[in-house]
């Protein structure tokens, strides 16, 4: 259909395309058209005859095309036109004096081939930019017709002025930003200075010394629970400072304040003593700022090493040791603390590595602390765990317990064996657990094990993989306790197949459904070594 037959068309905008050829003559029939924007195309030819038919046209933008010929006098009959841009074309001839009949808010005829005199109404300095770049144009404006050399000079001057103005603006904005950041830091430092510090170990540094390191350039990690800063103290010791945000001023129904809850939770964390758990040196508690000072782990997190650029540097003996160390740390929390402590967010990024790649569990209980700090806010992702690590029963119980930790730890074991992330676009709608089960069923164990691992450890890897699958059973009752996981890992490290216990007859976590006319059949399998 010809566009000219769209009798009720009001606006037509098609700039920045590759339209070529002349403007369709039938467009002059669009009497209701109020906006015509065809800038930045390759249109050629002249304006179609009969443009006086655009009685409702308010905006006409044909800039940066290849249009030529004269500007028709009929353009002065478009009484409601207030935006006219014909710049960057090849229009020639005189500028119609009828333009004075229009009440234009914007007129741009620059960079064409127009000649002759300017309409007296527009022969003013304020309209200079509307006519520049027309070599044959003359009028009362001095130096209106710029030569090529003058044009380049003007361009350079414009660029220079713009660059200078931009530099000044950036400098001023930067100064203002740093000023307010410094003021915030000073206020925060004053608040923390008068706050309550609590030490849990004999420390060789002043707690106030770490405040100078709470700057963005010292951030080494961040997450839902807060930011972590690296602080190199004057005595040469390095610590990690976790800053938890949020206010806690409300009282609970039992009369205790959230501040009291925070201090009670942190007191529990500070009493933990185990070689495979990151030590909490001290803490600070104010109304809106809470700091936890931990020992620093120079090799970072397991997640960064396993899935980052250095993932190939972790051989199997190192991965096995990390799994056993982390299991012993979690076992201590579950079985040797009274009452038992549930980690609530077991994942590879919360397993930190010391200088010898010994593993230590970090952030245990911090999810509960954050719940108290940000009660009623968006902390559910911290409380429930992290994507790919959450036990399936959480969907209908909304509770976490020791079995939830065991499921999450099983995912970590699968990460160590496969070298893959817990969630990956390659898995589609599956997670790592389901991908491992499906791949084992269809292609065998060799397609599951990380190809960077030495095949000499295949039997041991197979036994550890089976432990990971037991931990990620879909049924909480089918998951071994963390004490049992430690025992099975030790047996696997000695080349012994883990001995059976009463839960080993529970359904395997690896299953898939086959649909037939008789319904859905659940198929089970275990890792075959």
Cis geometry, peptide bond prior to residue 154 (ω within 30 degrees of 0): no
DSSP code for 385: -
230 marked as binding residue: no
Distance CA 402, CA 354 (A): 26
Which element (helix H / strand E) includes 93?
strand 90-93
Of the candidates 93, 33, 43, the one whose C-alpha atom is nearest the C-alpha of residue 63 is 43
Supply φ then ψ for residue 63, to 5 degrees.
Answer: -65, 150
Distance CA 345, CA 363 (A): 8
Distance CA 65, CA 25 (A): 17
* Options 40, 345, 363, 466, the catalytic residue: 345
Are the CB atoms for 417 and 463 separated by under 8 Å? Answer: no
Residue 345: active-site member: yes
Measured in residues, the chain has a length of 529
The residue to which tokens 């130096």 are assigned: 143
Calculate the alpha carbon distances from 48 to 28, 67, 170 in Å: 7, 11, 48
Are the CB atoms for 375 and 248 separated by under 8 Å? Answer: yes
Distance CA 485, CA 468 (A): 9
Of the candidates 346, 339, 352, 374, the one whose C-alpha atom is nearest the C-alpha of residue 268 is 339
Supply φ then ψ for residue 264, to 5 degrees.
Answer: -65, -45
Q: Residues at the annotated binding site for ATP?
A: 243
Q: Which residues are catalytic?
A: 345
């Amino acid at each position: 259909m010809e566009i000219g037959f769209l009798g009720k068309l009001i606006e037509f905008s098609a700039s920045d395309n590759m339209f070529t050829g002349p403007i369709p003559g039938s467009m002059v029939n669009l009497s209701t058209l109020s906006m015509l924007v065809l800038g930045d195309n390759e249109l050629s030819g002249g304006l179609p005859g009969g443009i006086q038919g655009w009685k409702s046209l308010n905006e006409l933008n044909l800039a940066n095309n290849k249009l030529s010929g004269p500007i028709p006098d009929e353009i002065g009959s478009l009484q409601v036109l207030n935006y006219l841009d014909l710049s960057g074309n090849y229009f020639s001839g005189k500028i119609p004096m009828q333009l004075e009949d229009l009440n234009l808010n914007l007129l741009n005829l620059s960079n064409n081939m127009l000649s002759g005199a300017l309409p007296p109404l527009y022969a003013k300095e304020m309209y200079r930019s509307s006519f520049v770049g027309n070599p044959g144009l003359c009028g009362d404006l001095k130096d209106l017709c710029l030569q090529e050399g003058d044009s380049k000079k003007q361009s350079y001057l414009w660029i220079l002025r713009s660059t200078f103005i931009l530099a000044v603006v950036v400098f001023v904005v930067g100064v203002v930003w740093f000023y307010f950041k410094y003021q915030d830091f000073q206020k925060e430092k004053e608040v923390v200075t008068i706050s309550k510090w609590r030490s849990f170990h004999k420390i060789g540094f002043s707690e106030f010394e770490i405040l100078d390191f709470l700057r963005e350039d010292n951030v080494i990690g961040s997450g839902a629970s807060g930011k972590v800063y690296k602080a190199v103290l004057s005595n040469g010791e390095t610590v990690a400072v976790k800053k938890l945000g949020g206010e806690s001023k409300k009282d609970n129904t039992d009369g205790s304040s959230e501040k009291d809850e925070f201090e009670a939770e942190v007191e529990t964390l500070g009493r933990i003593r185990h070689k495979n758990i990151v030590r909490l040196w001290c803490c600070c508690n104010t109304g809106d700022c809470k700091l936890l000072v931990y020992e620093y782990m120079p090799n970072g997190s397991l997640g960064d090493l396993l899935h980052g650029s250095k993932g190939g540097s972790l051989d199997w003996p190192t991965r096995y040791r990390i799994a056993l160390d982390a299991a012993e740390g979690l076992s201590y929390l579950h079985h040797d603390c009274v009452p038992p402590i549930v980690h609530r967010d077991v994942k590879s990024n919360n397993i930190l590595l010391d200088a010898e790649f010994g593993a230590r569990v970090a952030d245990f209980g911090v999810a509960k602390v954050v719940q108290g700090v940000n009660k009623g806010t968006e902390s559910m992702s911290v409380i429930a765990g992290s994507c790919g690590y959450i036990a399936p029963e959480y969907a209908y119980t909304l509770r976490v317990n020791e079995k939830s930790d065991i499921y999450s730890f099983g995912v970590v074991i699968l990460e160590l064996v496969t070298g893959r992330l817990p969630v990956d676009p390659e898995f589609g709608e599956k997670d790592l657990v389901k991908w491992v089960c499906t791949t084992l069923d269809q292609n065998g164990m060799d397609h599951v094990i990380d190809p960077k691992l030495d095949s000499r450890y295949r039997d041991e890897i197979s036994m550890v993989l089976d432990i990971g699958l037991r931990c990620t059973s879909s049924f909480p009752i089918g998951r071994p306790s963390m004490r049992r996981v430690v025992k099975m890992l030790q047996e696997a490290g000695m080349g012994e197949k883990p001995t059976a216990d009463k839960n080993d007859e529970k359904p395997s976590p690896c299953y898939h459904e086959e649909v037939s006319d008789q319904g859905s059949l659940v198929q089970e399998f275990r890792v075959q070594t």
